Structure 1
Amino acid sequence: MRHAPGGRAIRYRSRPYVCGALGDWDRRRLDELLAAAPTAVKRTAEHDGLVLHASGGTDRWRSGDHRGRLWGPLADGPAPRGWREAAESRMAAGAAAGPGYAALHTDALGLQDLYYRRIGDAVYFSGRIEPLLPVGGARAHVDWGAWASTLAMSSPVDDRTPFAEIKRMRAAGAWTWRDGRLHWESFEPSWAGAEPDPDLGPEEALAVLEDVLAPDRRTAVTLSGGWDSRLLGVLATRKVARMRAWTVSTDDGLDLDVRYAPAVAEALGLRHRVMIPADTAWNDHHAAVWRRTGYQTLFHTWLMPLAESLRRERVRLLDGLAGDVLFGGSFLSEATLAEPDPRDRWQLLRERMERKRDEVKAQLHPGVEAAFEELHAGAFKQAVAPFDGHPAALTLGALHTRTCRSIGISPMWIFAPETETALPFVHPEAVRTALRIPPEAKVGKAFYRRMLEAADPRTAALPSTNDPLPVPRPAIGPRRQTGPAAIAALTDRVRSSETVMGLLSDDLRADLAGADFAERVRKDTARFRVLGWAGLLAAWLEDFAPHLDLDGGARP
């Protein structure tokens, strides 16, 4: 199978690969799923209507007549008393069974990937997309809504994947089998009831974060030039001496992380290593990253050299995912908070998250541009609908649509499942505390700055990527992803796909044929972004051609 090499490159050490079936499942289809597994699995649990296979250990729990398995927990704690508690208090995916029911659930934020393909009264599920493709024998179709969102926000949103027939389980939900029927059940996590508290101070927020941190002597932190990793480093060094920190070039042409992180590491007494990947790193790694992430994001290739080094080191990694959104108020502004119409607030949030929105759309064929806008707007609306009316609606919307899908792929798939990875900012108590901070207090990262100053005034005073860029603005230097070889690789992929070329504007198609295209696209970030997306799509179409029906189904 052409997709197999990407899946088999993953070693499931810190989190197992899981798959199985729920409902009135068919043995032959289950066997198809098992045959396509990217690693060896064995039957782990079976109950009426449920069968679970896993590549490694899953945690058992039992409460009265209810029992289950969970995997990939992002929070420590006692054994849960039901699948909802496993999803929320342990932030885990899992399977559960009890009198008259069986359930398959993901975590309360939707960070744990569980994909499924529903056929009749059964859902066949997998921790990765690829093994679901042969199930049932029928070819899959392109989900153009997923690709529209990937262009707009760097990943699909809601339950979409690149394949129309394969869905990703939504946060805080479960498929259940009751009374001979499948049901989708969802719940509201308890932190959703957190009310804004003007009296909540930075010291209390810091105490919660410090309490949920549990570093040990193997712990390392990925130290950027920003505040998330800096704050984690401050709190972790209170518990563990002589921690290690790693910094890697972000390949953005500025490399402010490389410039700022050493001073932070020195102030905290961290052993520090800076990595500058070779000029060929993007070409060397992008195909593996695309496969590893299921072709679901434009990001993260720059992290692969660091991830490979950490796998050899066998460390436990602290990652600052979601700190900027939950505590720093990323994407909040006075304008969005002041907008009285909820629909307009969501639109303003979208525009803040979709970089160079108008310039990017202009690179598409006019008919495709209109179709993509409608598809993405509909998926985004569905994804944020559960938060309408919530005091922290904008924060929750950004968290679920961008952080947990596009950015969350980094710790969950670039570093894990090989490297044990801790995400303190998404611990249930940290989320609850962050939602108690009044949104207006977060604008301009004001509350977050107070937290950092309260934690360690020395590191708070050091230069940061959260600060405005110096004036005059530094010139953007060479980038690995826009080097001649990288642009040539993307351009060749796009030109070779008639389907992808048909999505692009006449001007962009003409430019792709020009001799000076590489030089011009390096200076036009919108065009480069569309080229990267088009190359990703072209590679996906080529990789999965045996499993796709491009003649049937809707076209954009």
Structure 2
Amino acid sequence: MHRSSDPALEFRSRPYVCGALGERDDALLGALVADAPSALKTAVAGDRLALLASHRLRPWRSGGRKGLLWNPLADGPPPRGWREASESRMSAGVETGDDGRVAVHTDALGMQDVYFRRIGGAVYFAGRLEPLLGLGGAGLHTDWDAWASILAFTGPASDATPFAEVRRLRAAEAWTWQEGTLRLESFEPSWTGVEPDPGFTPADAVDAVAQAVDPTRKTVIALSGGWDSRLIGALATRRRRRMRAWTTSPDDGLDLDLEYAGPVAAALGVRRQVLIPGEDAWAEDHTAVRERTAFQTTLHTWMMPLARELHRDGSPVLDGLAGDVLFKALLVPSDIDDERDPGRRLRLIWEELEGNRLRGNALLRPEVLGSFTERSERALAAAAAGVAGHHAAATLATLRTRTARSIAPAPLWLMGPEIALEFPFLHPEVLKAALRVPLEAKVGGGF
């Protein structure tokens, strides 16, 4: 197979970070830094927290606590603690306090990659999986639960990675250290308390999304003709934002994106460029995409030619990540509201996310398929445990699994980290708006 000629990841628009929390071994930290994919500078050099980054991070301070944010997905005022940074700014980051307590956290949806490995009395963490693998010289073991989820859902679930020794922080989660104790902490974001409102209209939803679209920046949109890209394209032009559109073939044999996006761009008055990949593009780009996504999803090879053009362009990209899940109930079983048994509800969610990838697999032996089915069901149950019984449990479970682990890597690791990205649908106020829409209004895409 022809290997892609793409250079290594370039952290141009967002930082690469790594560090250690707790009673660290400086030799291990040095090895982690030596394997970093980018040159690093020290951001925090404390007794119980070390943090290094390729870019300057965003500071905040509140009372006796302070912290640093990286790659916040939502604008807003400075947070007052790591939970607020995770929820209101949708950011990964660190926190330190006058009381000696320190923390490293991810965002409240788990979109940000914060991988970690616990060795001795410390947790070593990084924004990429690979630098953690050789740490300490200890052997690695295959996490078959992760591989079962990759085959079933196209990405791992919960905190899994392909390696049992390396985990990933889950949504709204942090490692903390205080008084000699390392602890994994989590919280439920405030938007999970939002109740459905039958009076909440599509116009209300549009207004919420519009407020999350920054009107001041020149931008590019990947216009597929799908609902989410049409909406944010319309809102960007409504807010007088200078915008250009790109469209490419999704390599699905249908090319409806190419058919639909043209009339949409014309209606919006947006200049559109069309990229048709060469006939060998998939074979040429497959390895680069697998490496960029750390071999954790089977998707997105078709997007690499477009991502490469966007790297050359350099403009920020407005992306509709999660819009169809939030407002169109994508991958939510149509009959889930009729099912009262919790186990059966979870099975319906599993079947929707699995998409017949295991059930229709004719290559693996039946006992292997049975094992992978059980493993992926357990992984989904772990990922959805915090939202069980919620009125939007299926939507939240989808966000925490397929969206965070399978879909988000496309913008985050193919378009980024070279270019800046904006995700209006991930703004906390938009999440609240989406959860106000009754499920029955969204199922089937009718909202």
After superposition, the Cα gap between the structure-2 partners of 1:70 and 1:198, relative to the gap in structure 1 and judged at 3 Å, is same
Tell me, in whole angstroms, the C-alpha distance in 1 between the residues paired with 2:344 and 2:356: 19
Q: Equivalent pairs: percent with the same residue?
A: 54
Tell me, in whole angstroms, the C-alpha distance in 2 between the residues paired with 1:358 and 1:176: 38
Q: 1:152 and 2:147 equivalent?
A: no
Aligned to 1:371: 371
Does the Cα contact within 8 Å between 1:242 and 1:269 map onto a contact in 2? no
Structure number with the higher helix fraction is 1
Task: Compute the displacement of 1:217 (Å).
Answer: 4.5
Does the Cα contact within 8 Å between 1:6 and 1:292 map onto a contact in 2? no
Aligned to 1:188: 188
Q: Which amino acid aligns with 1:398?
A: T
Q: Which amino acid aligns with 1:329?
A: A
Tell me, in whole angstroms, the C-alpha distance in 2 between the residues paired with 1:8 and 1:53: 23
After superposition, the Cα gap between the structure-2 partners of 1:188 and 1:241, relative to the gap in structure 1 and judged at 3 Å, is closer
Does the Cα contact within 8 Å between 1:10 and 1:292 map onto a contact in 2? yes
Q: Which amino acid aligns with 2:19?
A: G
Tell me, in whole angstroms, the C-alpha distance in 1 between the residues paired with 2:6 and 2:177: 29
Task: Compute the displacement of 1:241 (Å).
Answer: 5.1
Aligned to 1:494: none
Q: Which amino acid aligns with 2:41?
A: K
Task: Compute the displacement of 1:6 (Å).
Answer: 11
Mapping of 1:397-412 within 5 angstroms? Answer: 397-412=397-412
Tell me, in whole angstroms, the C-alpha distance in 2 between the residues paired with 1:361 and 1:260: 32
Q: Which amino acid aligns with 2:446?
A: A
Q: Secondary structure at the match of 2:284?
A: helix
Does the Cα contact within 8 Å between 2:215 and 2:241 map onto a contact in 1? no
Aligned to 2:164: 164
Mapping of 1:48-67 within 5 angstroms? Answer: 48-67=47-66
Tell me, in whole angstroms, the C-alpha distance in 2 between the residues paired with 1:220 and 1:87: 27
Aligned to 1:479: none
Q: 1:86 and 2:89 equivalent?
A: no
Tell me, in whole angstroms, the C-alpha distance in 1 between the residues paired with 2:428 and 2:46: 30
Query: TM-score, normalized by length of structure 2?
Result: 0.97
Gaps of 5+ in 2: none
Q: Which amino acid aligns with 1:130?
A: E
Q: Which amino acid aligns with 1:87?
A: S
Does the Cα contact within 8 Å between 1:17 and 1:127 map onto a contact in 2? yes
After superposition, the Cα gap between the structure-2 partners of 1:331 and 1:112, relative to the gap in structure 1 and judged at 3 Å, is same
Mapping of 1:72-111 within 5 angstroms? Answer: 72-98=71-97, 99-111=99-111
Mapping of 1:470-489 within 5 angstroms? Answer: none
After superposition, the Cα gap between the structure-2 partners of 1:36 and 1:219, relative to the gap in structure 1 and judged at 3 Å, is same
Tell me, in whole angstroms, the C-alpha distance in 1 between the residues paired with 2:30 and 2:127: 16
Tell me, in whole angstroms, the C-alpha distance in 2 between the residues paired with 1:113 and 1:357: 25
Q: 1:383 and 2:351 equivalent?
A: no
Mapping of 1:274-293 within 5 angstroms? Answer: 274-293=274-293
Aligned to 1:248: 248
Task: Compute the displacement of 1:118 (Å).
Answer: 0.5
- Write the deviation string for residues 403-441 of structure 1: whole angstroms up to 9, x where unpaired: 111001111111111110101111111011101111111
Task: Compute the displacement of 1:47 (Å).
Answer: 2.5
Does the Cα contact within 8 Å between 1:387 and 1:397 map onto a contact in 2? yes
- Write the deviation string for residues 171-216 of structure 1: whole angstroms up to 9, x where unpaired: 1010000110100111110101101111111111111111111044
Tell me, in whole angstroms, the C-alpha distance in 1 between the residues paired with 2:292 and 2:89: 25
Aligned to 1:348: 348
Q: Which amino acid aligns with 1:129?
A: L
Query: TM-score, normalized by length of structure 1?
Result: 0.78
Aligned to 2:20: 21
Does the Cα contact within 8 Å between 1:87 and 1:108 map onto a contact in 2? yes
Does the Cα contact within 8 Å between 2:24 and 2:48 map onto a contact in 1? yes
Q: Which amino acid aligns with 2:143?
A: D
Task: Compute the displacement of 1:42 (Å).
Answer: 1.3
- Write the deviation string for residues 249-300 of structure 1: whole angstroms up to 9, x where unpaired: 0000010000110000000000001110000111111101100000000111
Aligned CA-pair RMSD: 1.5
Q: Secondary structure at the match of 1:444?
A: coil
Aligned to 1:178: 178
Tell me, in whole angstroms, the C-alpha distance in 2 between the residues paired with 1:187 and 1:65: 21
Aligned to 1:120: 120
Gaps of 5+ in 1: 448-556
Q: Secondary structure at the match of 1:67?
A: strand
Tell me, in whole angstroms, the C-alpha distance in 2 between the residues paired with 1:118 and 1:354: 31
Aligned to 1:221: 221
Deviates more, 1:351-360 or 1:118-127: 351-360
Tell me, in whole angstroms, the C-alpha distance in 1 between the residues paired with 2:144 and 2:240: 48
Tell me, in whole angstroms, the C-alpha distance in 2 between the residues paired with 1:429 and 1:411: 21
Tell me, in whole angstroms, the C-alpha distance in 1 between the residues paired with 2:358 and 2:111: 30
Aligned to 2:39: 40
Does the Cα contact within 8 Å between 1:233 and 1:268 map onto a contact in 2? yes
Q: Secondary structure at the match of 2:159?
A: coil
Task: Compute the displacement of 1:242 (Å).
Answer: 4.8
Does the Cα contact within 8 Å between 2:153 and 2:354 map onto a contact in 1? yes
Tell me, in whole angstroms, the C-alpha distance in 2 between the residues paired with 1:444 and 1:202: 15
Q: Secondary structure at the match of 1:112?
A: coil
Tell me, in whole angstroms, the C-alpha distance in 2 between the residues paired with 1:216 and 1:264: 22
Tell me, in whole angstroms, the C-alpha distance in 1 between the residues paired with 2:32 and 2:144: 25
Aligned to 1:317: 317
Mapping of 1:458-497 within 5 angstroms? Answer: none
After superposition, the Cα gap between the structure-2 partners of 1:8 and 1:63, relative to the gap in structure 1 and judged at 3 Å, is farther
After superposition, the Cα gap between the structure-2 partners of 1:198 and 1:168, relative to the gap in structure 1 and judged at 3 Å, is same
Deviating beyond 4 angstroms after TM superposition, the runs of 4 or more aligned structure 1 residues are 5-8
